[in-house]
Structure 1
Amino acid sequence: MSDATLAPTRARAADTPWRLFLRRFLRHRLAVTGLAVLTVLGLLALLAPVIAPYAFDGQDLEIMGQPQPPSREHLMGTDQLGRDAFTRVLYGARVSLAVGLASALLSTLLGTLVGALAGYYRGVVDSVLMRLTDVVLCIPLLPLVILLSGMLRPNVTLLVAIIGLLGWMGTARLVRGQFLSLREREFVEASRALGGSNNRIMFRHILPNALGPIIVATTLAVGSGIMLESALSFLGLGVQPPTPTWGNLLNYASQWLQSAPWLALFPGLMILITVLSVNFLGDGLRDALDPRS
């Protein structure tokens, strides 16, 4: 066999799963763009105290009374109280992104645990957990979140808990399906024959092979968490002023849509760009983690 024939074989053999994933992901231009945008937004949120030209509740007493349009001193204008809109959008990103990310991680952890137990043990455990999942799925999510938020008047921590504890059902169904399929594979039978415990088999052998769909579901849950937080804050049931979030900035701007539309434009654009970027990233991860691609 010639060296020319052996070269492609060696190249394919050198491809690790990580390299294959990276190559597939980089081919997805929208996903790469989404990752870049989210990275920039995350850095801006983290560095808001350094980047922001003013305090988020600082007021310019000379221009109070009427929102001011964008200018060199105030890149996104000011609100009625003389507060810099650019500063408040930056600080709002800290809360909105944190709520979206933390609630997605919480719902993923809970959904993964429920789905893993149901898919691995099957039988009575599966029936009980899946019927519980069905019951929670039957409850309209937004009205329930609005009810709980209205009763508790949540801070950031409570808001993360409410969104996370009410958003795990899709992940649970997904993980259950993965575990039902993987528990019959040869490597699981081999581990069981060697005396591996149930916990070791579930979380050391099966779970790593189910991480692809879980990662994609987590990514998409971040966008859902941001949207839900924004909706609650817009209705006045989320994080309360003076702490800015993109949602309560929109709530405040709703009374100035005619005379000061820029107050709603910039936080609305941030929500749109973030959710689109998250969805593009999720699509790219799904394609890159699909072994058939």
Structure 2
Amino acid sequence: MADISAPAISARPPQSYGRRVVKRFLRHRGAVFGLVFLLLLALTVILGPFFSPYTYDGQDFMLIGSPGPMTAQHWLGTDELGRDMMTRLMHGGRVSLAVGLAGAIIATIAGTLVGALSGFYRGWTDTILMRATDVMLSIPTLPLVLLLSGLFRPSPPLLVAIVGMLIWMGTARLVRSQFLALREREFVEAARALGAGGARLMFRHILPNAIGPITVSATLAVGSAIMLESALSFLGFGIQPPVPTWGNLLNSASSWLSVAPWLAIPPGLLILFTVLAVNFLGDGLRDAMEPRE
């Protein structure tokens, strides 16, 4: 009797969560475009000023009085003080991106802490923290920032702190909902039964499982912080000249729109495309990190 052996079944090993996230992210064309744009922009604003023959506050006294046209020496022209606009645009990108990134980091840390305490301990802790969050949400952000910027000198560190402490509320609500759902899961109950304390449960067991939504929220907060900083600088309450930012470059160019529109178009487009790229990146991360399959 012939020995008939069952054919070998070759099963593909399951992919790790990280590999699945990367594959989903790469399928999101908008997110890939946003990531590439942001990387190229970061390289340009970081390295570009080192290769420029001008400094951001260096003046050509032969061109003082009115904006200069775009030439081979000054690709984006010069402002009314004879300063090279390309160099000022790149240096302003450093400031705007740094304020946006640092403000988003502060907002994410503050929102995560408030949301984690509220969702884990519930009760009076949840009530107090969420009512405080509701109060912050009810205050118009831009007028409050204008008031604070008017009371204090708007240096970059202070502006970062103001921006960060006024956009954390969305992250707090998101983290709270995640903690409310995760604190009842079996692995948390098992860790609690083994004697894990509150801080260990929160930051060792629950927080790593909520890192996906927090990452998405942090990404979107960068766009909000850049928009807020640009609005403040445009209104004259942000970082003051001669230090350039995209917002105060727009403010300076607004007086010359009829005769030199090329001064306003580049910073306006950079703000627009940067915020769009950040939002596309956040959408791609959200879709990629969804718990499916």
TM bin, normalised by shorter chain, reads over 0.9
Deviation at 1:172, TM superposition (A): 0.5
**Which residue of structure 2 lines up, in the alignment, with residue 139 of structure 1?**
139
Task: Determine helix, strand or coil for the equivalent of 2:283.
Answer: helix
CA distance in 2, matches of 1:158, 1:81: 28
CA distance in 1, matches of 2:196, 2:52: 54
- Indicate conservation of the 8 Å contact 1:52/1:90, yes or no: no
Q: What letter is aligned with 1:288?
A: A
- When Rg is computed on C-alpha atoms for both structures, the one with the higher figure is 2
Deviations 1:130-164 (A, max 9, x none): 11111111111111011101111211000000010
CA distance in 2, matches of 1:90, 1:59: 16
Is residue 2:158 matched to residue 1:158? Answer: yes
**Which residue of structure 2 lines up, in the alignment, with residue 148 of structure 1?**
148
**Which residue of structure 1 lines up, in the alignment, with residue 261 of structure 2?**
261
CA distance in 2, matches of 1:149, 1:278: 26
Deviation at 1:53, TM superposition (A): 2.7
CA distance in 1, matches of 2:151, 2:241: 17
**Which residue of structure 2 lines up, in the alignment, with residue 247 of structure 1?**
247
Equivalence map 1:42-191=2 (5 Å) = 42-191=42-191
Deviation at 1:61, TM superposition (A): 1.4
Structure 2 segments unaligned to the other structure (5+ residues): 1-5
Which residue among 5, 12, 17 is the counterpart of 1:10? 12
Q: Which moved more, 1:216-225 or 1:42-51?
A: 42-51
CA distance in 1, matches of 2:292, 2:51: 44
**Which residue of structure 1 lines up, in the alignment, with residue 292 of structure 2?**
292
Structure 1 segments unaligned to the other structure (5+ residues): none
- Indicate conservation of the 8 Å contact 1:45/1:94, yes or no: yes
Deviation at 1:273, TM superposition (A): 1.1
Deviation at 1:24, TM superposition (A): 0.4
TM-score, length-scaled by structure 2: 0.96
Deviation at 1:43, TM superposition (A): 1.4
**Which residue of structure 2 lines up, in the alignment, with residue 273 of structure 1?**
273
Deviation at 1:54, TM superposition (A): 0.6
Task: Determine helix, strand or coil for the equivalent of 2:54.
Answer: coil
Deviations 1:258-282 (A, max 9, x none): 0000000011111011101101100
TM-score, length-scaled by structure 1: 0.96
The structure 1 segments of at least 4 consecutive aligned residues displaced by more than 4 Å after TM superposition are none
Task: Determine helix, strand or coil for the equivalent of 1:236.
Answer: coil
Deviations 1:231-265 (A, max 9, x none): 00000000011000000000000000000000000
Deviations 1:72-126 (A, max 9, x none): 1111111111110000000000100000000000000000000000000011110
As a proportion of its length, which structure holds more helix? 1
- Indicate conservation of the 8 Å contact 1:44/1:51, yes or no: no
Q: What letter is aligned with 1:95?
A: V
CA distance in 2, matches of 1:71, 1:286: 44
Deviation at 1:51, TM superposition (A): 2.7
Deviations 1:177-203 (A, max 9, x none): 000000000000010011111111100
CA distance in 2, matches of 1:251, 1:51: 26
Q: What letter is aligned with 1:118?
A: S
Is residue 2:19 matched to residue 1:19? Answer: yes
CA distance in 2, matches of 1:120, 1:88: 47
Q: What letter is aligned with 1:170?
A: G
Q: What letter is aligned with 2:60?
A: D
Q: 1:116 to 1:63 in 2, by over 3 A?
A: same
Tell me the C-alpha RMSD between the 2 structures.
1.1
